[in-house]
């Protein structure tokens, strides 16, 4: 297991339950991945309301918890279920190669080289494993755009991952990006910095903690089967129910109402028009995060100077924008996402296409390799639930007990069809982001495992109560142990 973040520890737990011997290699000094002290920017907070950020076997009643409490929950989970004892902290994986033998890459197992983190002179440790699971995370390799003129700017340039306590205090700060971390850091800079500027190429939708003018938590709107029925139809026909075939005119009318409510509930209606998204929901809903508390207030008070423009180049004083405007900075923070790359993986195993999109069957396994899986790259809104279901699917895949196992070409064809759907419905998904389709993604994996997708006691609960939650999927290991 490569990585001891949420995906790594839940997969280790599920594999242990299924009789595997599991070793977890992790570069940080504590479990948690992006939630560990070494993996997150200072001030990172969870976007999850109560009972969302939890695994099926360990309730978590914290509400929009900070990174410290989130990491404590993950460590408690790893310790409770015997995962922590198998974690080798401070270990960086440098190479994963298929062992020589007949068949496809990985058919004979895998050779894994590792060494102590941040010590390139240390002796490499080589081990052989029957299976490898990559759970290094979708937010592991920072992406910082290459812009001309870097040498002319003498201030500090950081990725959002590198922001620590005191980084922004008393300085002129420019944050580049339009996602959750960008708005988080701009809001923080408004409190701590001398000046705060946010530069975003386009304005994304941001979700309020509560809808219906603050009366209903967002999970009651976005995490129900009825809510998902308003989305464009899911790509897998096996997961399409009659409710998903609602008349498109009804869907558009309901999304218009939801969009209007979101503008008021999130406070976006109080911002200038150019600082609101220019397309109605559900367009780009997959890119939405929970709006930081205080962001709208800071923009309205002039504490955040929000610009909508691409960035062209560094200048001696900061950045030049595509509009021709120059913004000054002592610190430039690029909250511009992460690259989904695996530098340790042998070139014989291809997981990307020419456009850089991940080509994984079900977002989990590469069609051309055996005994290799990926966790955390079938990303949904409630990603921790998605990771746990992926772990159950992968355990069954490794044991060759899925209901059906397509051949390599069938897998490739399925990936092609799904990527075409994502390009149309979820543009910019990179082949890994399924956005708001939490329940449909769960249905698909349950269908593969031959398990029921109806998880509630009655139809009203099935369709109107939040279904994209982990505790609905408790006990998935038990039906398999008698096989």
Domain-embedded: residue 258: no
203 and 116 in one domain?
no
pLDDT in tens, the chain (483 residues): 999 999 999 999 999 999 999 999 999 999 999 999 888 888 888 888 888 999 999 999 888 899 899 999 999 999 999 999 999 999 999 999 999 999 999 999 999 999 999 888 899 999 999 999 999 987 778 999 999 999 999 999 999 999 999 999 999 999 999 999 999 999 999 999 999 999 999 999 999 999 998 899 999 999 999 999 999 999 999 999 999 999 999 999 999 999 999 999 999 999 999 999 988 899 889 889 999 999 999 999 999 999 999 999 999 999 999 999 999 999 999 999 988 899 999 999 999 999 999 999 999 999 999 999 999 999 999 999 999 999 999 999 999 999 988 999 999 999 999 999 999 999 988 999 999 999 999 999 999 999 999 999 899 999 999 998 999 999 887 544 444
Number of domains in the chain: 2
431 and 351 in one domain?
yes
466 and 355 in one domain?
yes
Name every residue whose Cβ is closer than 8 Å to that of residue 195 and which is 6 or more positions away in sequence. Answer: 172, 173, 305, 328
157 and 71 in one domain?
no
Instruction: Write the DSSP assignment of 345-385 as a string of letters.
Output: B-TTS--B-TTS-B--BTTTB-TT-SSEEESS-SEESSHHH
Relative to beta strand 91-98, strand 110-116 is antiparallel
> Which one of 293, 317, 336 terminates a domain?
336
Contact status, residue 61 vs residue 51, Cβ threshold 8 Å = yes
129 and 99 in one domain?
yes
176 and 323 in one domain?
yes
52 and 113 in one domain?
yes
377 and 452 in one domain?
yes
Q: Does a cis peptide bond (omega within 30 degrees of 0) precede residue 282?
A: yes
> Which one of 279, 306, 336 terminates a domain?
336
Name every residue whose Cβ is closer than 8 Å to that of residue 156 and which is 6 or more positions away in sequence. Answer: 330, 331, 332
User: What are the CA-CA distances from residue 441 to residues 106, 380, 381 (Å)?
Assistant: 27, 8, 11
Q: How far apart are CA 15 and CA 22, in angstroms?
A: 7
> Which one of 289, 315, 336 terminates a domain?
336
38 and 136 in one domain?
yes
**Residues comprising the chain, all counted:** 483
421 and 294 in one domain?
no
Contact status, residue 440 vs residue 236, Cβ threshold 8 Å = yes
107 and 76 in one domain?
yes
Residue ranges making up the domain that contains 178 = 144-208+266-336
């Amino acid at each position: 297991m490569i990585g001891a973040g949420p995906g790594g520890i839940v997969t280790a737990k599920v594999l242990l339950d299924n009789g595997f011997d599991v070793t977890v290699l992790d570069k940080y000094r504590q479990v948690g991945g992006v939630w560990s002290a070494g993996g997150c920017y200072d001030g990172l907070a969870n976007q999850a309301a109560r009972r969302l950020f939890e695994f099926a076997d360990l309730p978590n009643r914290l509400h929009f918890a900070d990174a410290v409490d989130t990491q404590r929950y993950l460590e408690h989970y790893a310790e409770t279920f015997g995962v922590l004892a198998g974690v080798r902290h401070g270990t960086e994986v440098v190479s994963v190669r298929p062992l020589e033998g007949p068949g496809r890459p990985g058919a004979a197992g895998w050779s894994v080289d590792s060494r102590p983190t941040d010590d390139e002179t240390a002796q490499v440790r080589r081990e052989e494993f029957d299976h490898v699971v990559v759970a290094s995370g979708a937010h592991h390799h920072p992406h910082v755009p290459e812009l001309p003129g870097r040498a002319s700017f003498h201030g500090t340039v950081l990725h959002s991952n590198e922001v620590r306590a005191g980084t922004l205090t008393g300085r002129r700060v420019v944050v580049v990006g339009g996602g959750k971390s960008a708005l988080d850091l701009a809001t923080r800079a408004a409190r701590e910095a001398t000046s705060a500027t946010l530069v975003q190429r386009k304005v994304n939708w941001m979700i309020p903690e509560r809808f219906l003018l603050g009366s209903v938590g967002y999970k009651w709107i976005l995490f129900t089967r009825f809510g998902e029925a308003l989305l464009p139809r899911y790509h897998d026909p096996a997961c399409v129910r009659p409710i998903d075939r609602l008349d498109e005119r009804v869907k558009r009318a309901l999304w218009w109402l939801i969009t209007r409510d979101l503008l008021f509930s999130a406070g976006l209606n109080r911002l200038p028009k150019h600082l609101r998204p220019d397309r109605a929901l559900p367009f780009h809903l997959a890119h939405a995060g929970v709006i930081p508390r205080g962001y709208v207030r800071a923009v309205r008070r002039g504490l955040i100077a929000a610009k909508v423009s691409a960035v062209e180049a560094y200048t001696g004083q900061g950045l030049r924008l595509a509009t021709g405007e120059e913004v000054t900075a002592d610190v430039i923070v690029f909250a511009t996402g992460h690259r989904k790359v695996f530098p340790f993986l042998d070139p014989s195993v291809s997981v990307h296409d020419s456009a850089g999109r991940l080509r994984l069957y079900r977002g989990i396994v590469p069609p051309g390799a055996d005994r290799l899986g990926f966790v955390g790259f079938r990303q949904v809104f409630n990603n921790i639930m998605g990771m746990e279901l992926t772990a159950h699917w992968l355990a069954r895949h490794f044991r060759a007990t899925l209901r059906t196992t397509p051949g390599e070409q069938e897998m490739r064809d399925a990936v092609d069809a799904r990527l075409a759907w994502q390009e149309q419905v979820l543009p910019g998904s990179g082949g890994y982001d399924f956005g708001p389709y939490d329940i449909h993604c769960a249905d698909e994996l349950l269908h593969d495992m031959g398990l029921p997708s109806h998880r509630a006691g009655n139809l009203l609960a099935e369709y109107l109560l939040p279904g994209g939650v982990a505790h609905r999927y408790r006990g998935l290991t038990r039906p398999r142990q008698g096989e």
